[in-house]
Amino acid sequence: MEEMFDNLRADKYPLKEYNYIGRRGPRRIDGFQKASGNAVYTMDVQLPGMLHMRFLTSPYPHAAIKNMDTSKAESFPGVRAILRYDDPELPPIADLGGHVPSAEVVLPGIAHFQGEEVGAAVAADTEAVAEEALKLVEVEWEERPFVLDPEEALKPDAPLAHPELLPNGNHYNAGLLDVLELGDISQGFAEADKVIEFRSERRLHTWIGPERPCGVFRWNGDCPEVWVKQQRPHIAKRVISSWFGGVPMNKIKMHCLYQGASFGGWSQTPWNMAGHYCAAVLAKRTGRPVKWTFTRREDFYGGEMDEGVYYYKVGAKNDGTITAVQGRAVLANQIWPVFHFLKHLVENTRIPNIHGQLFVVKTNKGPTVPVRCEQNANAHSLTLIFDHVADAFGLDPIEVALKNDGADGHDMDWLNERKAERGFEVRDSLRECVEKGKAAIGWYNRWHPPGKKRLPNGRMHGLAFTWDHEWDDSAGSSEMAIRIERNDGTATILGMGSDVGVDAENSYCQIAADELGMRLDDVYYNPQADPGFFRMTPDSSTNMSVNGFAIRHAARILKRKILEAAASPRGKTQRGSFPPAFPDAGPEDLDIKDSVIYLKADPSKKMTMAEFVGPSGVAGPLVSHENLGVRSNFSVPLFAFGYHVQTGTYAPQHLRPRFCRQAHFMEVEVDTETGLIEVTRVVNVNDVGKVINRASCEGQQYGGSYMGVGRGRSEEVVYDPVTGIMLNGNLLDYKMATMLDVGPIDTLLVETGMGYGPYGVIGIGEDIATVMPALLGPAVYNALGIWIDDFPITPDKVLKALSKV
Amino acid sequence: MIKLTVNGQPYEVRVEPEWTLYYLIHDRLGLIGSKQFCDRGACGSCTVIMDGRPILSCMALAIECDGANIETVEGIARASHPLIESYARHHAMQCGYCTPGFIVAAKALLDKNPHPTEEQVKEALAGNLCRCGTYPQHSKAVLEAAEKLLGG
Ligand code: FES
Ligand code: FES
């Protein structure tokens, strides 16, 4: 287990042979369930006597409840209970989720954004009855001034968006990363041949999981039984255990069924367990299970953390070497203002002089948290800075990227030294990705000067490139176990996470099968059971790099145990012991392949796992045969667990430089008559270190592309500036990408082994959806020869830009 | 009181006037394969086949379905339609929430047009939204299922 914490270096313990890892085609364990409609999601749960709970929501962007009369609603037929914000049983604050214990108001009496759940929760026989009853709740509101625009919110005389939290102004960075500084900015500008300046904007976009936020709470005596739609069930359990004066963890029964996606989002806000709290109180009062749901619209409040304005000043030499970057950004509502907007320039460029000033402000919109990305603001900056420089100096953006590749202001030689020092192969990941991508999209013959290529169909043609590093690094930990079943010798993986769709469960099986020497069909994982082991759920770019280690440790320990057991007496009873399965052999003489244990020196001496454990399972714990004069075989339970703690680059000491790069290409056609942008081709090249589950990697690539294109081109949550009301909280008016919205997507994978995870893997889930949106800017620029740095780039912006020319 | 047939099973149910077909099928009959995503006719995840036509069950009132013949993903799966197998094989799903809606829409297409082109598949499925972005896999899965159905 010495490898356990050694994730600051190259993996020293790869396998010699991979049977399932990396291969195309292993079965997908959730495939049939999901295709056949049998997969059960929390939204599908129905229990005997179950009630339905809905919240009252604020009609104003900022308002306090002065008086509330719920009497009419209470007497509405079908209403079973109403919980009010002033209920004496509600604690003033409680832990309601988020990464670390939070202290939140369970059911507030003051709303800080329109649509916020406030004042009352109604439990009724059906959702429809609950909704009707909510209309009968009479509220006297005290309306308060509000602010929606981040730059407005920063002004000293701006209305206070959240005076209870921030009485002196809307600016709050909590001292974290407000200023990011590297080198000497004035010296950097002095060295430049040219200095450019530009401003960009990113409007609010949001998560939209297909399954609405929901949950079910039932009391079995004093034991809570809870169904959570949660990316991180371990957080739900921690939180529930802190309620009602303390609920012992071992009394909480969790169900984390299939998840209708997640993308971080809602799951991460420190309020996401409030529905459960209210449901718990009402379930107690009514003696019935209570299911709470948000409406589709309620899921729209909130969003991604890059809404705001960005100002950049960049100095570079004529050959594309960037000497200085100065930036200033005002971003809205970040729940944790811990991500800067210029950090990626530090992490993967050699730019020696950087100064970034970040202002995070509160506005009267919902909370923003990382959504299929933790670094949108950074990817946004990196793409725009590099492509603007390439343009200003008349250079190929790929050359500019390669010229500035590095880390912490150091060049590639320095980065290569770090690779060697940590035991990695010295390879140029960006160049490898770039070459593959260039060939795939035909960069050599299709790239052209901006605004210079009109297609036969009358549209303008654009081609663009961007790059970034791969991520694997949020702090995270995991514990997983494997047990060998009696009778048939199959392996069961134990661990609770949530299946959000990345097919992670199959990947764990692949690792376990390869490490144990078992057939993939003999390894199974049902993540929906709660065995008390909590694994990291695929989030924060941290799935395989954390869970991969945990499952691998468990498998390696378990294999050792199996071989030891095969070579030693198979258990003892009062009447004596049983002979070993492989007499005269030591564990080191044995191995397992295709679920068969065999003697290495003479593979004809073999026994299947089923034969090995079979007899010990016949009698179960009764061993009743012994009473009949026949002794049952018995063997030790074959069980092992592994765990892993991840230390990543969020650590202030900046422990691990990034080595793996990714390259992305986009081809567009812009209709100058209608302003419509068609994304006709996307090429993603990702260095994933090592492929574990090929289909899953590719799934993330095309999935990220669709989400990225949607974010870049059409996704925006629009608020009415006069009333502060959200105008498009539904899927007709909020435009996410459909099947016809992106042309062919090439999914290319590079395996340099330079990730810090097991076998050299690195995360793939988030970066594409993060990097893609800003790529639309350079693509449209290449088509039109005009920069539109206001995202999403909607047709009206295209037409407006064109009419200016 | 309405009568309808769902996946070959006759039902006689008393429905409230405001019930949607989705509510009837999912919440009352327990056929959870129909999923509610957008709740307003924009996403296709609640698609069922009614008298041979794919419809959005969140936009149909149950009361209007008297005498209708309804097919849901459960029926398609029970008949071992090759779409189920090919969807799983091609990983045409991630979280899977939207998947049954796609399969029902694809089944309706194949019933009408057993030999669709890739373009026709895309057109038939373009009304279905998938937040996970599984789109490119669908045409592969549908075309393969079509081939199987034709005995290929
Ligand atoms: S839920 Fe019916 S179309 Fe979206
Ligand atoms: S697979 Fe998740 S919404 Fe389609």
pLDDT band at A175, cuts 50/70/90?
Answer: low
Q: Which of A739, A747, A770, A772 to mutate: most B Cβ within 10 Å?
A: A739
Question: How much helix, strand and coil, in percent to the nearest 5, is found in chain B?
Answer: 40, 15, 45
Q: What is the pLDDT of residues B85-105, one digit of tens each?
A: 999 999 999 999 999 999 999
Q: What is the pLDDT of residues A635-690, one digit of tens each?
A: 788 999 999 988 776 666 667 899 999 999 999 999 999 999 999 999 999 999 99
Q: Which of A164-178, A594-608, A702-716, B33-47 has the lowest mean pLDDT?
A: A164-178
**What is the DSSP annotation of A262-327?**
--BGGGGSTTTTHHHHHHHHHHHHHTS-EEEE--TGGGGS-B-TT-EEEEEEEEE-TTS-EEEEEE
Q: Measure CB to CB from residue B84 to each of A35, A46, A732 and give the nearest one.
A: A35
A/B interface, count of CB pairs below 8 Å: 168
Which stretches of chain B score pLDDT less than 50?
A: none
Tell me which DSSP letter residue A249 carries: G
Report the pLDDT averaged over residues A738-764: 95
Predicted confidence at residue A627, as pLDDT, reads 61
Q: What is the pLDDT of residues A601-637, one digit of tens each?
A: 999 999 999 999 887 776 655 555 556 666 667 778 8
Portion 100-129 of B in contact with A at CB < 8 A: 100, 103, 122, 125-129
Smallest CA–CA distance from B83 into chain A, residue = A35
Q: For a substitution probing ligand 1, which of B56, B73, B98 has the most ligand atoms within 8 Å of its CB?
A: B56
Short-list A241, A264, A751, CA closest to A476: A264
Whole-angstrom CA distances from B52 to A96, A336, A796, B20, B25 are 48, 51, 40, 19, 17
Pocket of ligand 1 (CB under 6 A): B 36-39, 41-46, 56, 58
In chain B, residues with a C-beta closer than 8 Å to the C-beta of A499 are 95
Distance between CA atoms of residues A532 and A172, nearest Å: 38
Two tokens, residue A426: 């010295």
Short-list A309, A343, A210, A310, CA closest to A265: A210
Total H helices, total E strands in chain A:
19, 29
Predicted confidence at residue A674, as pLDDT, reads 96
Distance between CA atoms of residues A520 and A525, nearest Å: 11
Predicted confidence at residue A752, as pLDDT, reads 97
* A540: pLDDT strictly greater than 80: no
**Residues written for chain A:** 805
Whole-angstrom CA distances from A725 to A448, A715, B77 are 44, 17, 44
Inter-chain touch B95–A500, beta carbons under 8 Å: yes
Inter-chain touch A502–B89, beta carbons under 8 Å: no
Q: Scanning the structure block, which residue is given the tokens 């649509």? A: A115
In chain B, residues with a C-beta closer than 8 Å to the C-beta of A38 are 33, 74, 77
Predicted confidence at residue A404, as pLDDT, reads 98
Fill in the amino acid letter for A331. L
pLDDT band at A477, cuts 50/70/90?
Answer: confident
The ligand with the least distance to the CA atom of A262 is 2
Distance between CA atoms of residues A733 and A303, nearest Å: 16
For residue B114, the tally of other CB atoms under 10 A from its CB is 11
Predicted confidence at residue A681, as pLDDT, reads 98
In chain B, residues with a C-beta closer than 8 Å to the C-beta of A503 are 91, 94
pLDDT band at A578, cuts 50/70/90?
Answer: confident
pLDDT band at A99, cuts 50/70/90?
Answer: confident
Give Cβ neighbours of residue A246 (< 8 Å, ≥ 6 apart).
none
Distance between CA atoms of residues A495 and A536, nearest Å: 9
Q: How much is the mean pLDDT over chain A?
A: 93
pLDDT band at A48, cuts 50/70/90?
Answer: very high
Instruction: Tell whether B72 lies on the interface with A, counting CB pairs under 8 A.
Output: yes
Distance between CA atoms of residues A61 and A63, nearest Å: 7
Q: ω into residue A615 within 30 of 0, thus cis?
A: no
- Which ligand 1 atom minimizes the distance to the CA of B129? 4
The CB-based long-range contact list for A455-459 (8 Å cut-off, 24+ gap) reads A455/A669, A457/A669, A458/A671, A458/A672, A458/A673, A459/A669, A459/A670, A459/A671, A459/A672, A459/A678, A459/A783
The ligand with the least distance to the CA atom of A43 is 1
Smallest CA–CA distance from B85 into chain A, residue = A32
Distance between CA atoms of residues B8 and A644, nearest Å: 51
Report the pLDDT averaged over residues A356-361: 95
Short-list A571, A543, A614, CA closest to A764: A543
Predicted confidence at residue A2, as pLDDT, reads 46
Tell me which DSSP letter residue A535 carries: P
3-state SS, residue A433: helix
Smallest CA–CA distance from B75 into chain A, residue = A36
Determine the distance in angstroms separating the CA of B100 from the nearest CA of chain A, rounded to an integer. Answer: 6
* A374: pLDDT strictly greater than 80: no
Distance between CA atoms of residues A679 and A676, nearest Å: 10
The ligand with the least distance to the CA atom of A207 is 2
In chain A, residues with a C-beta closer than 8 Å to the C-beta of B144 are none
Helix B135-149 vs helix B99-112: crossing angle, to nearest 10? 40
pTM for this predicted structure: 0.96
* A506: pLDDT strictly greater than 90: yes
